[in-house]
Amino acid sequence: MFTPLKTKRSRRIVQLPPFALERIRRHRREQLKRRTAFGPRWRDPRDDLGRPVALVCDRGDGFFIYPDSFTSAFKRLARQAGMDPDTRLHDVRHAVATELGRRGVQPVIVSAVLGHASPASTIAVYQHAWQEVRPRRLPRSRLRWGCLCVPERRVTPRTGHFSDGC
Protein backbone atom coordinates (compact mmCIF):
# COMPACT_ATOMS: atom_id res chain seq x y z
CA MET A 1 0.00 0.00 0.00
CA PHE A 2 1.36 3.38 -0.93
CA THR A 3 0.66 6.46 1.14
CA PRO A 4 0.38 10.02 -0.15
CA LEU A 5 3.54 12.11 -0.26
CA LYS A 6 4.21 14.33 2.74
CA THR A 7 4.19 17.61 0.79
CA LYS A 8 3.94 18.86 -2.82
CA ARG A 9 7.72 19.35 -2.76
CA SER A 10 8.18 15.66 -1.99
CA ARG A 11 7.87 14.87 -5.70
CA ARG A 12 11.05 16.35 -7.11
CA ILE A 13 13.98 15.73 -9.38
CA VAL A 14 17.06 14.59 -7.50
CA GLN A 15 20.43 14.95 -9.14
CA LEU A 16 22.56 11.86 -8.78
CA PRO A 17 26.27 11.50 -9.39
CA PRO A 18 27.28 9.61 -12.55
CA PHE A 19 28.34 6.46 -10.66
CA ALA A 20 24.87 6.21 -9.07
CA LEU A 21 23.08 6.76 -12.38
CA GLU A 22 25.12 4.02 -14.01
CA ARG A 23 24.35 1.64 -11.14
CA ILE A 24 20.61 2.38 -11.40
CA ARG A 25 20.69 1.82 -15.17
CA ARG A 26 22.46 -1.51 -14.67
CA HIS A 27 19.91 -2.46 -12.01
CA ARG A 28 17.06 -1.57 -14.40
CA ARG A 29 18.52 -3.80 -17.12
CA GLU A 30 18.78 -6.66 -14.60
CA GLN A 31 15.23 -5.98 -13.43
CA LEU A 32 13.88 -6.14 -17.01
CA LYS A 33 15.61 -9.51 -17.49
CA ARG A 34 13.93 -10.81 -14.31
CA ARG A 35 10.59 -9.44 -15.47
CA THR A 36 10.92 -11.32 -18.75
CA ALA A 37 11.90 -14.52 -16.95
CA PHE A 38 8.95 -14.24 -14.53
CA GLY A 39 6.44 -13.58 -17.31
CA PRO A 40 2.89 -13.44 -15.92
CA ARG A 41 4.14 -14.18 -12.38
CA TRP A 42 5.71 -10.66 -12.24
CA ARG A 43 3.78 -8.55 -9.72
CA ASP A 44 3.55 -4.84 -10.39
CA PRO A 45 1.97 -3.13 -7.37
CA ARG A 46 -0.99 -0.86 -8.17
CA ASP A 47 -1.62 2.75 -7.22
CA ASP A 48 -4.92 3.95 -5.74
CA LEU A 49 -6.38 4.22 -9.26
CA GLY A 50 -5.42 0.64 -10.10
CA ARG A 51 -2.54 1.58 -12.41
CA PRO A 52 0.68 -0.49 -12.29
CA VAL A 53 3.60 1.16 -10.51
CA ALA A 54 7.10 0.33 -11.75
CA LEU A 55 9.44 0.28 -8.77
CA VAL A 56 13.16 0.96 -8.79
CA CYS A 57 13.65 -1.44 -5.88
CA ASP A 58 11.51 -4.55 -5.77
CA ARG A 59 11.82 -7.78 -3.86
CA GLY A 60 12.79 -9.74 -6.97
CA ASP A 61 9.34 -10.41 -8.39
CA GLY A 62 8.26 -6.80 -9.08
CA PHE A 63 6.42 -6.34 -5.80
CA PHE A 64 7.47 -3.78 -3.19
CA ILE A 65 9.92 -4.57 -0.44
CA TYR A 66 8.23 -4.68 2.94
CA PRO A 67 9.69 -2.01 5.25
CA ASP A 68 10.81 -4.58 7.85
CA SER A 69 12.66 -6.54 5.16
CA PHE A 70 14.35 -3.36 3.98
CA THR A 71 15.36 -2.51 7.54
CA SER A 72 16.78 -6.01 8.07
CA ALA A 73 18.80 -5.79 4.85
CA PHE A 74 20.12 -2.36 5.84
CA LYS A 75 21.13 -3.64 9.29
CA ARG A 76 22.99 -6.57 7.72
CA LEU A 77 24.83 -4.30 5.25
CA ALA A 78 25.61 -1.74 7.96
CA ARG A 79 27.06 -4.47 10.17
CA GLN A 80 29.19 -5.74 7.27
CA ALA A 81 30.41 -2.17 6.70
CA GLY A 82 31.49 -1.88 10.35
CA MET A 83 28.82 0.63 11.31
CA ASP A 84 27.36 0.81 14.81
CA PRO A 85 24.69 -1.93 15.06
CA ASP A 86 22.08 0.60 16.23
CA THR A 87 22.46 2.77 13.11
CA ARG A 88 19.20 3.36 11.25
CA LEU A 89 18.92 4.29 7.58
CA HIS A 90 17.61 7.70 8.63
CA ASP A 91 20.84 8.21 10.61
CA VAL A 92 22.75 7.89 7.34
CA ARG A 93 20.63 10.73 5.90
CA HIS A 94 21.70 12.91 8.83
CA ALA A 95 25.32 11.87 8.41
CA VAL A 96 25.30 12.83 4.72
CA ALA A 97 23.74 16.22 5.48
CA THR A 98 26.25 16.81 8.27
CA GLU A 99 29.22 15.86 6.13
CA LEU A 100 28.06 17.92 3.15
CA GLY A 101 27.86 21.01 5.35
CA ARG A 102 31.20 20.32 6.97
CA ARG A 103 32.75 19.97 3.53
CA GLY A 104 31.58 23.43 2.59
CA VAL A 105 28.56 22.58 0.46
CA GLN A 106 26.23 25.57 0.61
CA PRO A 107 23.12 25.15 2.83
CA VAL A 108 20.81 25.81 -0.12
CA ILE A 109 22.30 22.77 -1.89
CA VAL A 110 22.13 20.57 1.22
CA SER A 111 18.52 21.69 1.69
CA ALA A 112 17.65 20.71 -1.90
CA VAL A 113 19.32 17.31 -1.52
CA LEU A 114 17.28 16.62 1.63
CA GLY A 115 14.06 18.00 0.18
CA HIS A 116 13.64 20.56 2.95
CA ALA A 117 11.17 23.39 2.43
CA SER A 118 13.87 26.01 2.90
CA PRO A 119 17.58 26.37 3.64
CA ALA A 120 16.58 28.01 6.94
CA SER A 121 15.14 24.74 8.24
CA THR A 122 18.28 22.87 7.14
CA ILE A 123 20.50 25.41 8.90
CA ALA A 124 18.36 25.20 12.05
CA VAL A 125 18.86 21.43 12.23
CA TYR A 126 22.50 21.09 11.14
CA GLN A 127 24.32 24.34 11.94
CA HIS A 128 25.57 23.11 15.32
CA ALA A 129 27.11 20.03 13.72
CA TRP A 130 28.60 22.03 10.85
CA GLN A 131 30.33 24.34 13.34
CA GLU A 132 31.76 21.64 15.64
CA VAL A 133 34.82 20.84 13.54
CA ARG A 134 35.32 22.14 10.02
CA PRO A 135 37.81 20.17 7.92
CA ARG A 136 39.54 22.06 5.17
CA ARG A 137 37.30 22.65 2.19
CA LEU A 138 37.63 20.16 -0.59
CA PRO A 139 38.46 21.50 -4.02
CA ARG A 140 35.33 21.80 -6.19
CA SER A 141 36.49 18.89 -8.30
CA ARG A 142 36.36 16.58 -5.25
CA LEU A 143 32.82 17.60 -4.30
CA ARG A 144 31.36 15.43 -7.02
CA TRP A 145 29.70 13.09 -4.50
CA GLY A 146 31.93 10.05 -4.82
CA CYS A 147 34.67 11.53 -2.63
CA LEU A 148 32.53 12.17 0.43
CA CYS A 149 32.64 8.66 1.88
CA VAL A 150 34.91 8.50 4.91
CA PRO A 151 34.96 4.81 5.93
CA GLU A 152 37.05 5.21 9.10
CA ARG A 153 34.30 7.27 10.74
CA ARG A 154 31.33 5.78 12.50
CA VAL A 155 27.85 7.24 12.38
CA THR A 156 26.35 7.77 15.81
CA PRO A 157 22.87 6.23 15.95
CA ARG A 158 19.91 8.57 16.40
CA THR A 159 21.93 11.72 15.61
CA GLY A 160 23.68 10.77 12.41
CA HIS A 161 26.82 12.57 13.54
CA PHE A 162 30.24 11.04 13.17
CA SER A 163 31.43 9.59 16.45
CA ASP A 164 35.05 10.66 15.99
CA GLY A 165 34.03 14.34 16.17
CA CYS A 166 35.18 15.12 12.63
- Tens digit of pLDDT for each residue in 125-160? 998 888 876 555 544 444 444 444 433 344 455 555
What are residue 153's phi and psi, to 5 degrees? -95, 150
9 Cα distance to chain centroid: 17
Q: For 51-92, what is each residue's pLDDT tens digit?
A: 888 888 899 999 988 889 989 999 999 999 998 888 998 898
| Domain boundaries defined on the chain | 15-65, 86-159
- Say what percent of the chain tops pLDDT 90: 36
Structural element, H or E, at residue 41: none
Say what the pTM is. Answer: 0.60
Average pLDDT, the chain: 80
Cα 161 to Cα 64, 88, 137: the distances in Å are 30, 12, 18
